[in-house]
Structures are given as structure tokens and as C-alpha cells.
A = this chain, B = another copy of it.
Amino acid sequence: MNSNPIGVFDSGVGGLSVLRHLVRLLPNEEYIYLGDTARVPYGNKSEETIIEYTEQAVRFLLQKGAKLIVIACNTASALALKQAELLSPVPVIGMIIPASHAAVRLTQNGKIGVIGTRATMNSNAYPTTIQHLSEKTLIVFSNPCPLFVPLAEEGFHNHPAAQLIASEYLAGFHTTNVDTLVMGCTHYPLLTSLIAHELPEVRLIDCGEYAAIEAERLLNYDRNEPMIHQYSSPQITFFLTDTTTTFLEIAERFLGFSVSLPERISLEHFGNTGNSI
């Protein structure tokens, strides 16, 4: 079991921001990164579709021998974590629970903001989880920021237009007096400086970082025999459902080092009646 890979699933390339934290905290592991780039983005899709796609991805990663699955996509975590856990004999870490734990620990005035895709916000996963984890009553304010993903992907995250849009999306948080804001989408850490400019007094939570901390804890301390694997450097294999010419460049921007060419695969045959394991 020890030498098996960690599976990381995202709707596209945004999950590389989560992989970066995993590789930093667990550098001696083997990783399989699965990006559903042929069907990205998930953020405006229906619950039914998001569950179907996530189940296909989990089946794929299990077939590849994953010893742990990290769902790096907040939208998939919000809507399909339970279904993923039901399918998987190995642990599944989503984005919502680690980030919610962090928000509960870090808030001092009990007022927490959450931003994310429309699907994540509509699911109410963050407010429900945050309240569930806290003994005292907290107030959670949330707002979808759907244009942040295309702005980040197009490299407009420092553009004056992005600042105007951020001002509009985040305006409501000024009056609510939140002291902590969960950036509930893997792309949003790319907009950290912009969000911080708008909300300078607010502590920003990067979900990927807390998910990586949870993975590190799980692999090192939670088992009788630690599962940690001893490669001299991170081994990462990339599987994408669509390959575009910009992947290598984007991956290096997210990760800070060169990566190998991705392999193009299809998830459509990993349905209920397909190659399930």
C-alpha cells in the first residue's frame, strides 16, 4: 500500500494549486493528477452532472491504485464528496472540511465569509459544515464570484478590470465585518493580492493548503504503519480528458517546476456500467 500513488482530481487545471501544497508537504510521494479539461468548468453545472463526473473520476483513480484521493475541485467536493466516499475503499479528502476547520479555528469575531462558484455557493456546503464544526454560533456570509475563474485562466488577475469586478463581488463583505474569508475555489489563490487589496483586514484561507495539511496528517499519523512513501523527488503523472497546447506552461506557472507531458484519457467509460473496479 505504501508505494501507491496519491490521486488528485480536479475539473481542470485549477487543482494544480492544491497539488503544489501537497508536493511541498509530502515531497516524497508519487502523484496521479486527473484534470477533466474536456468538460471544465463544473461551477455552473447541475448537481446531477457534477456527481456523475466525480464518480467517473474516482473510479479512474482507484483503477490506477490510488491510496488516497484528494478532490481538489471545491464544486465537486461540495456536491459529490459523499458519493465519492461511498465508492472508495481508500480515504477521500475534499476541500470543504479542511478549510471549514481552519475558518472555525481562525475567526475571532465569529463572522466568516466564503466565496466560490455558483454551484458551490448554492450547495450551502460551507455554511453547513462550518456550523457543524463549531460549538458556538457563527455567522457565515457567502457570495459567488463566477468571473474569477476565467479572469485567472486568462491571466487577467492583476488587470484593472479584474479589480473592478472584485470590488463588486466583495463589496458586501465590508458591511458584514467578516474577519476570515474562505477562498472556496482552486483558482482564487491566483487572485489573492486582488482580494487582499479589497479586504485588507481579512484573513484569507487557501483551501489547498489545509487539504494538504490534512493529507499529511492522514498519511503520517493516523495509521499504525505510516503510509508515507520515500521517493527522492515528487513523481507526478498527469492525465487530462483534453490536452491543449498551454498545459505545460500553466502547470509550470502553478507548480514552479517543469512537468512531464500529460496523457489524454476518456472518463466517459467509467460510468456505473463501465470499467468500475
> Could you tell me which A residues sit within 8 Å of B by CB distance?
37-39, 44-46, 48-49, 146-147, 149-151, 153-154, 156, 159-162, 164-165, 168, 241-244, 264, 268
Query: Do A49 and B44 touch across chains, with their CB atoms under 8 A apart?
Result: no
Q: How far is the CA of A243 from the CA of B151 in the complex (A)?
A: 25
- Chain B nearest CB from A239 CB (Å) reads 14
Residue pair B49, A242 in contact (C-beta under 8 Å): yes
The interface residues of chain B lying within 8 Å CB-to-CB of A149 are 150
Interface of A is mostly: loop
A-B contact pairs, 11 of them (CB 8 A): A38-B45, A38-B49, A46-B242, A46-B243, A146-B150, A147-B154, A149-B150, A150-B150, A156-B165, A160-B164, A161-B161
Total copies of this chain within the assembly: 2
**Which chain B residues border A44 with CB–CB below 8 Å?**
153, 244
For A39, give its contact among B39, B146, B150, B165 (CB under 8 Å).
B39
Docked pose: A161 CA to B244 CA in angstroms: 28
Q: For A49, what are the chain B residues with a Cβ–Cβ distance below 8 Å?
A: 38, 241-242
> How distant is the Cα of A242 from the Cα of B42 in the complex, in angstroms?
11
Docked pose: A128 CA to B243 CA in angstroms: 25
